[in-house]
Structure 1
């Protein structure tokens, strides 16, 4: 696990500036919450039947996890181990084994829906965020058995957590809140490192830039802000007052691998390309039906093509593949209902995209051609979240049917 100083050394920029400096304390506020571990809960077997079966639904999943008693809002796979963490409407999270559905840890302590849950980049910690405003942290115990976890701390601050993001290189956690604030904490201490204010509505999405040096956030109020984590004042702000940037409510965001471009989508169905170095709009993308919200954005690495490619998914059931070099549409991928999530595979299969939908299916596509590679079925309700695991060999999904399903992404050449 990296210390704040090690992270600082990793992300120092060309001018000697750093993202985190252990001596550069922003507004460090010690957490005064209860740090005691939760009592051990008896492990429950998550393997079970799905809700009443629709005879028309073919279930081609490898594994079921049906311990949640309400909709599953969040799912995240461990970076290396066969584990997933899920969070749901039942105010609970679970760490579970994706190979057999066994519960590893029951994550308790929330008093409202768990809407975000994810592993840290090194896989040593798990964070859950809830509509109750709580952010709770668990950590792995020991270095041999990935099944041993303990409760670490509860972080204070947000009103209602909308999303959580771990820093790409260490144990720094970012959260967007319903009260228009964005929070930054250092773990394992739980100290508040920065509080970002400036939005005037719920902060619907946010990301660290892949180089770890900056933060981008966007709000229901239609504003986008670009932050240096050391400062409570944004480096730049785009708002609906700029006619080129009017997206109505912003709902989705992605940043390219070189940390130079952000692509944002809104409830108007519009998409904007923003230069992070210039702080201005450099492109506008159509493709989605007017008034149909853009719910997901993902960059795709098409190695060797020389093209910068992004995929946008909307409530119109379309996933549009765009070439940002030409600002032209390469392909349109379709579902029968809203696209709720987009995932891109790691190399060497980085040309593959997985789309999740409210039509109860996930689909794997080839971004180079727009061809449907595989359909993943078995859910009996809208799919609300999805995550790739085991180096992209499986996709794990959580649905409105209270179930989590595990699917292989490997293609059977005989199909």
Structure 2
């Protein structure tokens, strides 16, 4: 019989923030990770062992979100100080900022071309901007409460929003019209992610659930109850076959979407897991939490074989208890299965975990050129000048 597939494994363990990590993103080339934090900073972690990390500390309040441009030449951050900052990810790179909203900004996202940017805020609005001209384009404003997240679809034609009014809305970028609404009775969505094919949305909910919707068909495809506390973030593997989630219950789950079941339960964080993300090639994923830890993992999902899962799960359960968390998965048809057979991975005894790189040198960025920019009114024809 061929060898069993490889499990995810912790590769690096970083600490450097003085506050909890709120969001993280891999750079397009996978060589760096950007993390935002309640300590009012963004850190760029270079995954090259010999390299130094860079801290950007120009926000005056917690930083709620961070995003890379598709080319990796810009990083944007969204702050509780109502500011969006755009900067070059290097020690003396140029930077700029503008007041994007009247209340804290919760998320920022670039489209696939890098020419457009979305911001979401506690002022109940989502705004679309032209990056080069730092120019306001339009608002998506049907929400009636705080907007936690706004994301472009992979092709940039749609925008999805997660709002505290217990709704997920999908807008057409060209027309500005709301074309889909997915209401939630139990609790508000905390985060969302587009499937790589652009036809599905995964939603992390405060009621401990994860839902996957068919956007075109306006229907619920899958429902997972695999966490025992609110789910804070979700991310699709680039293949579209797996979903990663992080929760207040301190665990990370990996779901096999084709089989409709959880396959891994990962521990290691000592407080809520707020942020999860895959690298562009899916070879790595990273997790960050309130405990200020950044964990970088080898996913090994390219080796996963669903036909061998039951055998591997049985072997794993014979050596450790896999029944600590319960799960339930339901399809829109109403079928369901329970019994969590996921393989539990605890990296805390590993060398990678014990050798926490808390002394990894983090240098404070000094911007060569910083200019304060202000919100452009959509009705104003003021001239704009190129930025970056």
C-alpha separation between the residues in 2 aligned to 1:247 and 1:326? Answer: 26
CA displacement at 1:85 relative to structure 2: 5.0
Match of 1:221 in 2: 165
Which sections of structure 2, spanning at least 5 residues, go unmatched?
A: 1-10, 310-342, 364-388
- Provide the C-alpha distance between the structure 2 equivalents of 1:173 and 1:167, rounded to a whole number of angstroms: 6
Question: 2-side partners of 1:150 and 1:90: how far apart?
Answer: 22
CA contact (8 A) 2:267 2:346 kept: no
Structure 1 residue 363 displacement after superposition: 6.2
Kept in 2: contact 1:197–1:232 (CA 8 A): no
Residue 311 of structure 1 deviates from its aligned partner by 2.6
Distance 1:275 1:70, change over 3 A: closer
Give the CA deviation at 1:177. 0.4
Q: What is the alpha-carbon distance in structure 2 between the residues aligned to residue 76 and residue 310 of structure 1? A: 16
* Unaligned ranges ≥5, structure 1: 1-59, 141-145, 241-245, 381-396, 406-415
Aligned residue for 1:200? 144
Q: Map of 1:42-121 to 2, 5 A cutoff?
A: 66=16, 73-80=22-29, 85=34, 87-93=36-42, 99-101=50-52, 103=54, 106=56, 108=58, 110-121=59-70
**Secondary structure, in 3 states, of the residue corresponding to 1:332?**
strand
Describe the SS at the equivalent of 1:377. helix
* Aligned 8 A contact 2:22 2:274 in 1: no
Q: Structure 1 residues 120, 379: CA separation in 2 closer, same or farther (over 3 Å shift)?
A: farther
Query: 280, 290, 295: which is aligned to 2:232?
Result: 295
**In angstroms, what is the RMSD of aligned CA positions?**
3.8
2:218 maps to 279
CA distance in 2, matches of 1:325, 1:118: 29
Q: Secondary structure, in 3 states, of the residue corresponding to 1:168?
A: coil
Change in Cα spacing, 1:162 to 1:268, as seen in structure 2 (3 Å) is same
Structure having greater relative contact order (Cα 8 Å, sep ≥ 6): 2
Residue 179 of structure 2 is matched in structure 1 by 235
Q: 2:107 aligns with which of 146, 152, 163?
A: 163
- For the 8 Å contact 1:213–1:228, the answer to whether it is kept is yes
Aligned to 2:377: none
Structure 2: how far apart are the matches of 1:404 and 1:300? 29
Distance 1:93 1:351 in 2: 24
Are 1:338 and 2:314 counterparts? no
**TM-score, reference length from structure 1:** 0.62
| TM superposition shift of 1:95 | 6.0
Question: What is the rounded CA distance, in whole Å, between the counterparts of 1:297 and 1:358 in structure 2?
Answer: 16
Distance 2:111 2:133 in 1: 15
- Tell me: CA distance 1:194–1:211, structure 2 relative to 1, closer, same or farther (3 Å): same
Name the CA shift for 1:379/1:89 in 2 (closer, same or farther; >3 Å): farther
Query: Please, what TM-score do these two structures have when normalized by structure 2?
Result: 0.66
Q: Which of the residues 172, 184, 195 maps onto 1:256?
A: 195
CA contact (8 A) 2:111 2:152 kept: yes
